[in-house]
């Protein structure tokens, strides 16, 4: 007899379980909660919603196939819609470090949907909706969880990452126009190099992000192939032959993203190479963002003893002991999130190695890290754009002053007087503390008027 008023007794195929009285989930979820007290990290709403969309679509399809009556189907759809509205997130507590197939989370969703449908939407209490027989009809965790990975990743890339990426690209494009008349010193190996327009430098940043955007567009082809319909091992046992195709259609209609049934369920369920590919593209974007943030941090260093070619916006005090100090904290945030994404890529890669025979056994690890990476990259790009990129300005005086004193100015003399002669002028300028222009004039290398043209920075920023 249950003596704890905060718990209720429920039964599944393994026996009875004590479940919290207010929980919408049932005994299988409770077993998972007790079996996996590992990280205290549960799946985010992004992933749970993807599974719920699958349940919703499956219910509609099973009704069309005359496998599920209209009352049950409608109740399941209504329950799914309630969850998708974000009202029941606390009822999905299973730790991400669980069974490698994600069965615990699949059953968690099945139980919550059935409980919600039975208590809120099903008028005929004798016509009970069962989590396995009805909500999970025609499905297995082995095809549902891989489908949820593709689905959640596709939705998050489309609705969050790409908009953030586009906004940052546009912000950089505006800075290109703003900086088009500003010439500064280029640098290689952290040493002086030939002049470059500030807008040219920023155009490189924009192109990096445009390339990442194109990579995301290319991976859509593989992400669109859904494993749903393969059930346990890819053969489609216990499901209708048209189930996978019709579910893909329903999911496409709901999400407004084009999905198809995988042409080979054995590949789709036994491996996770698509997830590894997506993670690699996320890593490439992280590396690009890290480069941009690091460059801007260097260019804004100072304000009086660094490069100081960019003025970075002040967003918070930089030191608890040095009054007035302001640090490039937005850049540092981007660098850290980029590093985390690169680390997550290793976890996803190792997760891909969990593909053994007919099933990958690290699906929750893969799902968590992919969605984690997409979220922090998207958020970082938004913060980078709104808190920093939009408000950067150029220190034109510093940009111009560095050019005249640079020894790399001798580069434009090399085609005229030869590499060795130009190098001697550079060495002499370095030893004497004079500029390249001053040494060239002293040595009468060229007529003054010709020298002015050759050493004009405006003539050094394009092929000539």
Catalytic residue positions? 189, 319
Q: At 10, list the tokens.
A: 């429920």
Query: Pick from 110, 113, 106: which is nearest to 88 by CA?
Result: 113
Query: Rounded to whole angstroms, how far apart are CA atoms 244 and 440?
Result: 76
- Angle at the Cα of 55 (from 73 to 244), degrees rounded to 5? 100
Q: Which residue has the tokens 């989370």?
A: 105
Residues 6+ apart with CB under 8 A from 454: 412, 413, 416, 446
CB atoms within 10 A of CB 9: 12
> What's the per-residue H, E or C state across the chain?
CCCCCCEEEEEECCEEEEEECCCCCCHHHHHHHHHCCCCCCECCHHHHHHHHHHHHHHHHHHHHCCCCCHHHHHHHHHHHHHHHCCCCHHHCCCECCCCCCCHHHHHHHHHHHHHHHHHHHCCCCCCCCCHHHHHCCCCCHHHHHHHHHHHHHHHHHHHHHHHHHHHHHHHHHHHHHHCCCCEEEEEECCEEEEEEEHHHHHHHHHHHHHHHHHHHHHHHHHHCEECCCCCCCCCCCCCCCCHHHHHHHHHHHHHCCCCEECCCHHHHHHCCHHHHHHHHHHHHHHHHHHHHHHHHHHHCCCCCCCCCCEECCCCCCCCCCCCCCCCCHHHHHHHHHHHHHHHHHHHHHHHHCCEECCEECCHHHHHHHHHHHHHHHHHHHHHHHHHHHHHCEECHHHHHHHHHCCHHHHHHHHHHHCHHHHHHHHHHHHHHCCCHHHHHHHCCCCCHHHHHHHCCHHHCCCCC
């Amino acid at each position: 007899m249950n003596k704890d008023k905060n718990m209720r007794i429920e039964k599944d195929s393994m026996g009875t379980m004590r479940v919290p009285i207010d929980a919408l989930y049932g005994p299988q979820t409770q077993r998972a909660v007790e079996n996996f007290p590992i990280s205290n990290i549960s799946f985010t709403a992004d992933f749970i919603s993807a599974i719920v969309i699958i349940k919703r679509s499956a219910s509609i399809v099973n009704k069309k196939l005359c496998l599920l009556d209209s009352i049950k189907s409608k109740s399941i759809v209504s329950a799914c819609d309630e969850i998708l509205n974000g009202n029941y997130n606390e009822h999905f507590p299973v730790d991400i470090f669980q069974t490698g197939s994600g069965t615990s989370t699949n059953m968690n969703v099945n139980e919550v949907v059935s409980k919600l449908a039975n208590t809120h939407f099903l008028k005929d209490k004798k016509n009970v909706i069962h989590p396995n027989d009805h909500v999970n009809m025609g499905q297995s965790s082995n095809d549902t969880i891989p489908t949820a990975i593709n689905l959640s990743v596709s939705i998050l890339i489309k609705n969050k990452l790409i908009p953030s990426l586009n906004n940052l690209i546009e912000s950089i494009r505006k800075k290109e126009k703003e900086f088009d008349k500003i010439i500064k010193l280029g640098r290689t190996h952290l040493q002086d190099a030939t002049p470059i327009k500030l807008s040219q430098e920023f155009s490189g940043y924009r192109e990096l992000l445009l390339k990442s955007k194109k990579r995301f567009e290319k991976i859509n082809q593989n992400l669109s192939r859904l494993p749903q319909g393969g059930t346990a091992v890819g053969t489609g046992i216990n499901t209708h032959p048209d189930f996978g195709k019709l579910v893909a259609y329903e999911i496409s209609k709901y999400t407004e993203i084009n999905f198809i049934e995988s042409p080979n369920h054995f590949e789709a369920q036994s491996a996770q190479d698509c997830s590894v590919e997506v993670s690699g593209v996320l890593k490439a974007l992280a590396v690009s963002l890290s480069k941009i943030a690091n460059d801007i941090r260097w260019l804004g260093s100072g304000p009086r003893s660094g490069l100081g070619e960019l003025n970075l916006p002040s967003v918070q005090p930089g030191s608890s002991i040095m009054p007035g100090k302001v640090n490039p904290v937005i850049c540092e945030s981007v660098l850290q999130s980029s590093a985390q994404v690169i680390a997550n890529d290793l976890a996803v890669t190792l997760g891909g190695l969990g593909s053994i025979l007919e099933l990958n056994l690290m699906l929750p690890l893969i799902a968590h890290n992919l969605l984690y990476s997409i979220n922090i990259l998207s958020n970082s790009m938004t913060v980078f754009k709104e808190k920093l990129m939009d408000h950067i300005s150029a220190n034109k005086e510093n940009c111009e002053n560095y050019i005249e004193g640079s020894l790399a100015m001798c580069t434009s003399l090399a085609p005229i007087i030869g590499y060795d002669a130009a190098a001697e002028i550079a060495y002499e300028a370095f030893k004497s503390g004079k500029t390249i222009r001053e040494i060239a004039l002293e040595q009468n290398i060229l007529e003054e008027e010709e020298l002015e043209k050759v050493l004009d920075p405006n003539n050094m920023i394009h092929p000539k």
